[in-house]
Chains A and B, each alone.
Chain A
Amino acid sequence: MKNRNFGVWIINATLVVALMVGVSVIVLAKPKNADERIVAIKVKRFEYSPKEVTLKKGVPVVLQLSSLDVPHGFNLPDLNVRADVIPGKPAKLRIVPQQTGRFVFHCDIFCGTGHEELEGAIVVEE
């Protein structure tokens, strides 16, 4: 019973936080469905590949983030999403875009001379 209440609390808290910060993407930790699209994004100094990813509004997708050299970050402030991207430890982010537009992501773990230019974008279409 306690676990169930805790789960309900977590869901409610997540919804409240999402409403408060105007989150336009839903990030869920639950396991993905087998048919969900996986988008692999590789990062190295000083480039994300692909640099731009196009997604459909409302369609779940799993971003699979891998570093090819040193620790990097993946930060999408407009959508309130971030992850550490450590070599040998791919990070997964399941997102459901809720708003169309172009959203810039950048590295937020300082990685060297080109760190400030290390960025990419997620484009969400209808």
Chain B
Amino acid sequence: MSKIDRRGFIKLAGLGGGIVFASSLGLNTLGSVLDYANGYSGKKVEKDFYFVQLSDTHWGFSGPKVNPDAEGTLKKAVQAVNSLEEQPDFIVFTGDLTHTTDDVQVRKDRMAQFKDIVGQLKVPDVHFMAGEHDASLDRGDAYQQFFGKLNYTFDHKGVHFIVLDNVSDPGAIVGESQIGWLKADLKQQKADARIVVLTHRPLFDLYPDWDWATRDGSSVIEALMPHKNVTVFYGHIHQEHHEMTGHIAHHAAKSLIFPLPAPGSMPKRQPIPWDAAEPYKGLGFRGVEAAAESANKYELNEYPVQKA
């Protein structure tokens, strides 16, 4: 299937499900292309590609009032990804793979179960990262046994991906050591290199009252600022959200367990109750298309949990 055909399919699925749309910092239009470059023309990707972002699956969570299908939602999402007519080049999970528990054995059991479920994905190239629910109580010990390193990089068709850990320190701190590692990595990149940062918490102060921040996130952003083509994808806040810090775009993804209210819109950060009339409302995953023709264009397509 050609790319155009796939885009056509995406839009069709969106119309059928009534959920899919691409967002451009307040301007939501079906199939719109995000352009944050303001006319800048930098390094091009070698070829169009797209990847899928899933986030905040919280495997092991139980709460019938917010998700009576807690054991089925992730599996449905896996089926939905597998049913995409053109499969992504790779898939990323931006943290909170499992729901936290004090019991180390239960934590490991949940990670093993999660790994079995997502092992059903057709796409073999899957990149994981931790959320505070996975890694904050044991500083990432169990997580690393199952999923490997907490911070790492990989390259794909001209885009440099940086996975940052802002959760294994329970105080939501990236830390001097990792920031040093980040700076050393960035030194290897040209100023116009296409860079995508994947992390769990927002790197900026989205809403500190609800702990939606990274304590030393400003140091990370400062290190990224000299690079002209940087985009951040993250999770944690269980909803789609788009923000700019200077020329850097930050995109939060929906959850696959329960949605949370918009920042500061409610007195408390409580999960939004399940709506039987619209099951799985507010949940979903995202397709991110990297366009070859521009240095800093990404097309975001939001998918429902179940295929339309």
Contacts and interface: CB of A to CB of B under 8 A. Distances in A.
A108 B269 CA distance: 14
Contacts of B172: 108, 110
B209 A116 contact: no
B137 interface: yes
A109 B173 CA distance: 10
Contact of A113 (B102, B170, B171, B209): B102
Interface of B: 99-102, 132, 136-137, 167, 170-172, 208-211, 215, 268-269
A77 B170 contact: no
A78 interface: yes
B171 A108 contact: yes
A110 B132 contact: yes
A31 interface: no
B137 A112 contact: yes
A108 B100 contact: no
B102 A106 contact: no
A104 B171 contact: no
A111 interface: yes
A115 B211 CA distance: 10
28 contacts: A71-B170, A73-B171, A75-B208, A75-B211, A77-B208, A77-B209, A78-B209, A106-B209, A106-B210, A106-B211, A108-B171, A108-B172, A108-B211, A108-B215, A109-B170, A109-B171, A110-B136, A110-B167, A110-B171, A110-B172, A112-B100, A113-B99, A113-B100, A113-B101, A115-B100, A115-B132, A116-B211, A117-B268
Interface in A83-126: 84, 104, 106-113, 115-117, 119
Contact of B209 (A71, A104, A112, A117): A104
A116 B270 CA distance: 9
Contacts of A71: 170
A112 B208 contact: no
Closest 10 CB pairs of A and B: A110-B136, A77-B208, A110-B170, A110-B132, A109-B170, A109-B171, A77-B209, A108-B211, A113-B100, A112-B102
A14 B172 CA distance: 25
B135 to A, nearest CB: 9
Interface SS of A by simple majority = mixed
Contacts of B211: 75, 106-108, 116
Contact of B269 (A75, A109, A110, A116): A116
A86 to B, nearest CB: 11
Contacts of A109: 170-171
B171 A84 contact: yes
Nearest to B172: A108
B190 to A, nearest CB: 35
A3 B236 CA distance: 45
B235 to A, nearest CB: 15
Contacts of B136: 110
A62 B268 CA distance: 27
Contacts of A113: 99-102
A117 B171 CA distance: 16
Given A106-B209, A108-B211, A110-B100, 9 more contacts: A84-B171, A110-B170, A110-B171, A112-B137, A113-B100, A113-B101, A115-B100, A117-B268, A119-B268
A113 B106 CA distance: 13
A106 B209 CA distance: 7
Interface in A55-95: 71, 73, 75, 77-78, 84
A21 to B, nearest CB: 11
A117 B100 CA distance: 14
Contacts of A116: 211, 269
